[in-house]
Amino acid sequence: MEGLGLLFSGFVSSLTTVNLVACFIGALVGTLVGVLPGLGPTATMVLMLPFTLPYGPTTGLIMMTGVWYGAMYGGSTTSVLVNIPGEAASVVTCIDGYQMCKKGRAGAALALVAIGSFVAGTIGLLGLQFFAPALGNAALSFGPPEFLCFMILAFVLLSNLSAEAPLKGALMIALGLFLSTIGITPMDSYPRFTFGSEQLMLGIDFLPIAVGLFGISEILNTAIEKYVKPVVRKIRLKELYPNRDEMRRSIGPMLRGSILGFFVGLLPGPCTVISTFVAYAFEKRISKTPERFGHGAVEGVVAPESANNSAVMGSMIPLLTLGIPFAAPSAIMLAGLRMHNVEPGPMLFVTNPDVFWTFIAAMYIGNLMLLILNLPLVGAFARIAMIRPQILLPIISLICLVGVYSVRNSLFDVWVMIAAGVVGYFLRKWKYPIAPFIIGVVLGPTTENSLRQTLLMFKGDVSLVAGRPLSVALLALAAVFLAYKVIAPLMGKKPELKVDEGKSL
Amino acid sequence: MEKAPASRLEPFFVCFLLVLGLAVSVISWGYGFGSLRQPGPGLYPFFVGVAIAVFSLFILVSELRSGTGEPVLDKQGARTLALMALTFCLWIVAMPLLGYVVVTLLATYAFCKIMKLEGWRKPLAVSAGTALFIYALFDYWLYIDLPRGILE
C-alpha cells in the first residue's frame, strides 16, 4: 500500500507543466531519432543533457528516458515501411515487417507494434516499480567488496556481449577506466596524469567525450557514407486496423516479448538489441508454423518490438538500485543525474524517493503519449525519414559544438569533443565497441573507490572475500562465464551472441 | 576506386595503446603504489595500465596474424573527413573572435557544401535557420551568455 501512495504522489509531482513538457519533448525527439537512420538514441540523449541542466534531476531523467523509449517506438516505422532500421534495436523488425508491408499490411503492422510497445512499456514499468525498491533495499546491505565484485562481473559480461572480439570490448573498458583516473583523486587529492595542466586537474569532462564518441563520430560516418533516398509507402488511417486473426496472433508474442525483454534488459551490454533477437528466436521456436517467419509473420514483428521497449525498463533496475549502468544510454543517464548531484543507487530510495516515483509516474504518462503520437502520426513520421542528411547533419553538428561549449564555456572541451569524434569514427570502422568505453569512464571512480575501500576494509588480506557469500557468488559467475567462453569453442559449440553495435549507439 | 591506407592505421593505433598502457603503468608506479593494506594513488591506475597493455598486445598479435583488413576510407571519404574536421577546428578558433552566431552561420554553410547540398540558396537557408535557431535556443530559452564577437 505504501508503494501505491508513493506512486500517487509521483503522479501529482509528474503532472507539472515542466515535467509533462519534458516528457513530451523526450518522447517526440526519441520517436524522430528512431525514425531517422543515423543518429541513435544514445547520441541524442548526450546532446540533450546540457538542455536538462536548468531543470531538476527528475525532469532530466524523464526527458532522457523519453528519448530512449521513443526511439524504440519510432525505430520500427522505417523498418516496416522502407526496410531500413531507424536504430539497431529495430533490425529484426525488418525481416517480417517489410514483408507485411509488401503484402499491404504495413498499417496493421505499425498499429500492432505501437500497441505492443505500449503493453510492453506498461509491463516493464510494473516490473521496475515492483523490483527496483525491493532490490534497492536489499542493496543497502552491500559493502564495497560486493560492489567491486558486481562491477567485475558486469565488465566480464559487457566485454563479451558488446563486441565481435571480446578482447576489443575489454580494451575499451580498460581505456575508459584509465580516462576516469585523469585529474585529482577524490580519496587522497593526488593529481594523476595532469602533467601540470590546470584543465586536466579537474579531469576530462564526461560530456565532450560522450558527444564526440556518439554524436560527432556518427555525423562523420553518415556524412562519408553514400546517401540513398528511401522510397516510403503512404499509409492511410483506415489501413491501421489489424484484422481479427492478426490481433489474435499478436497477444501471446506481445506478452512473451514483454517479459523476455524485461529480463534481458537486466543484462550488461546492448540489451535492447539483444532482446529483439532473443524474442524473435523464441517466437519462431515455439510457433506451430515457423515457416511463416521471414514471410510476413505478425509474431515476428510484435514480439521483438515489445521486447525492446520492456528491455529499456529492465535496464533501469541496475542503474537505479545499484548505480551501475549496464548499457550506454543508462550510462548517459547516470552522468546526467550526477550533473544534478543525484547519485543513483541503494540510497536513492531513502534520500530521493520522489525522484524514483515521479519518474515512474511520468513514464506511465509518456507511454500513453507515445501511443497517441505513434498511431495517427505514423504517416508523418514516415515522411520525416525522407529528410536528407545534408540538411540534418550540419544542424546537429552546430548543436553539438555550441551545446558542449555552453556547459562550462570551455573551448578545451570542444577540442576534446572533436578529437573523440575523429577517434570514435575509426573505432567504429575497426569494430571497437564504444559503449564499454563510456561505461568504463562512468564507472571508473566507483570501481577505484570500491577497490581501495575493500583493501582497507580487509587490511590487505583479499582472501577475506571468501567470507562474503554474495561476493563469492558474483566472482564465481564471472569465472563460469569466462570458462564457458574458453571451453565452448573447444567442444565445437558456438557460444557467441554477437551484436553489431552499429546504430545502437 | 582509389583506397586510402586507412586500414593500415589500425596496427599503429593498437601499438600506440600498447605504449600508452605501459606508460600509464610506469607513471602510476611513480605516484606511489602503496601496499595492499594501505593502497596508494598509483595502485589502481597501475593495474589499469597493465590491462591496457596486455589487451593491446593480444589484439596486435591477432591483427598481424590475420593480415590487413578492408580499407575503411576511399579518397573521397578521406577528403570529406578532413574537411569536416577542419571546419570543426575553424569554428573553435574563430568563435571567440567573430561570436557564436556568425561562426555558426559560416560553419553550417561550409558543412552543407562539404556534404554536397546543391546550389547556394538551400545551404544559405539552412545556415541562416540554424544560426537563428541556435541564437533563440541559447539566448532566449536557456539564458546562456555566449561570446557575441563582432555583434557585441
Percent of chain B exceeding pLDDT 90 equals 55
Asked if B41 is an interface residue toward chain A (Cβ–Cβ < 8 A), one would say yes
| Contact (CB<8Å) A181/B45 | yes
Over residues A436-484, the pLDDT tens digits come to 898 899 888 889 999 999 999 888 888 888 888 989 999 999 999 888 8
- Inter-chain residue contact A394 with B17, CB threshold 8 Å: no
Give which of A312, A347, A320 is closest to A336, Cα–Cα.
Answer: A320
**Residue ranges in A230-298 assigned as alpha helix (H):** 244-264, 271-286
On whether residue A377 sits in a domain, the answer given is yes
Instruction: Say if A238 falls within a structural domain.
Output: no
Residue to substitute from B55, B70, B72, B126, interface A, most A β-carbons within 10 A: B55
> Does residue A408 belong to any structural domain of this protein?
yes
**Helix (H) or strand (E) run with residue B151 in it:** none
A450: Cα within 13 Å, side-chain hemisphere: 21
CA geometry: angle A195, A196, A199, nearest 5 deg: 100
By Cβ distance, the residue of A54, A177, A452 closest to B48 is A177
**Does any domain span residue A444?**
yes
Q: Which of A175, A193, A430 sits opposite B52 (nearest CB)?
A: A175
Chain A residues touching B57 at Cβ < 8 A:
none
Say if the Cβ atoms of A190 and B31 lie within 8 Å. yes
Q: Return the closest-CA partner of residue A163 out of A420, A437, A383.
A: A437
- The CA R_g of chain A, rounded to the nearest whole Å, is 22
Judge whether residue B7 has pLDDT over 80.
no
Using DSSP, state whether A183 is helix, strand or coil: strand
Q: How many Å lie between the alpha carbon of B122 and the closest alpha carbon of chain A?
A: 9
* Contact at CB, B13 and A430, closer than 8 angstroms: yes
Phi, psi dihedral angles at B133 (to 5 degrees):
-65, -45
Q: Which residue from A174, A406, A426 is facing B51, i.e. has the nearest CB?
A: A174
Distance from CA of B100 to the nearest CA of A (A): 8
The answer to whether the CB of A363 falls within 8 A of the CB of A20 is no
Query: CA–CA separation, A371 vs A113, rounded Å?
Result: 10
To 5 degrees, how large is the angle CA A397–CA B7–CA A217?
15
What does the pLDDT profile of chain A (505 residues) look like in tens digits?
Answer: 566 788 888 888 888 888 889 889 988 888 888 777 667 788 888 888 877 878 888 888 888 888 887 887 777 887 787 777 767 778 888 888 888 888 888 888 888 888 888 899 899 988 988 888 888 878 877 888 988 998 898 888 888 776 678 899 999 999 999 999 999 887 778 899 998 888 888 888 888 998 899 889 988 988 888 776 666 666 665 666 788 888 899 999 999 999 999 988 887 777 888 888 889 988 988 888 888 888 888 999 999 999 988 998 888 888 888 888 888 888 888 888 888 888 888 888 788 888 888 888 888 888 888 888 877 777 777 777 777 888 888 988 998 899 888 888 889 999 999 999 999 999 988 889 888 898 899 888 889 999 999 999 888 888 888 888 989 999 999 999 888 888 877 776 655 444 444 443 4
E strands along A122-247, which residues? 183-184, 191-192
The partner residue sitting opposite A451, judged by closest CB among B44, B80, B144, is B44
**Residue in B100, B112, B144 closest to A390 by CB:** B112
Size of interface A-B (CB pairs under 8 A): 164
Where do runs of H (alpha helix) occur along A83-143? 91-102, 106-139
Nearest CB among B10, B42, B48 relative to A174 is that of: B48
Q: Which residues of B touch A54 (CB under 8 A)?
A: 142-143
Chain A contact for B25 (CB, 8 A cutoff): no
Please check whether residue A74 is in contact with residue A34, taking contact to mean a CB–CB distance below 8 angstroms: yes
Angle at A320 between CA A315 and CA A325, to 5 degrees: 50
Q: How many CB atoms lie within 10 A of CB A423?
A: 18
Q: Is A239 inside any structural domain?
A: no
Indicate the SS3 state at residue A192: strand
Q: Is B144 at the interface with chain A, CB within 8 A?
A: yes
For residue A86, give Cα distances in angstroms to A39, A63, A319.
9, 20, 26
For residue A428, the chain B residue with the least C-alpha distance is B72
Contact B51/A at CB under 8 A: yes
C-alpha distances (whole Å) from A337 to each of A3, A340, A441, A446, B85 are 23, 5, 15, 15, 31
Q: Kindly state the greatest CA–CA separation across chain B.
A: 69
Rounded CA-CA distance A342/A351 in Å is 9
Is residue A236 situated within a structural domain?
A: no
Using the Cβ of B12 and the Cβ atoms of chain A, whether some distance falls under 8 Å is answered with no
| Ordered DSSP codes for A194-205 | -TT-HHHHT---
Q: If DSSP codes are grouped into helix, strand and coil, which group holds residue B38? A: coil
Identify whether A279 is part of a domain: yes
Q: Could you give the CA distance from residue A481 to residue A170 in angstroms, rounded to a whole number?
A: 14
Share of chain A above pLDDT 90, in %: 16
Non-local CB neighbours of A211 within 8 Å, separated by 6+ positions: A43, A46, A47, A400, A403, A404, A417, A420, A421
The shortest CB-CB distance from B39 to any of A192, A415, A455 is to A455
pLDDT in tens, A279-332: 998 898 888 888 888 888 899 999 999 998 899 888 888 888 888 888 888 888
Burial of A21 by CB count in 10 Å (0-12 exposed, 13-18 middle, 19+ buried)? middle
Q: How far is A455 from chain B (nearest CA, A)?
A: 6
Number of domains forming the structure of chain A: 1
d(CA A25, CA A65): 11
With respect to residue A189, please indicate whether it lies within any of the assigned structural domains.
yes
Q: By the CB < 8 Å criterion, does B19 face chain A? A: no
Domain hosting A63: range is: 2-228+246-504
Q: Which three cell numbers stand for residue B90?
A: 575553424
Closest listed residue to residue B112, CA positions, set A28, A10, A392 = A392
Residues of B with Cβ-Cβ distance to A51 under 8 angstroms = 142
User: How far lies A51's CA from each of A64, A407, B141, in Å?
Assistant: 11, 9, 10
* Secondary structure (H, E, C), A20-82: HHHHHHHHHHHHHHHHCCCCCHHHHHHHHHHHHCCCCHHHHHHHHHHHHHHHHHHHHHHHHHH
- CB count, 10 Å around CB of A8? 12
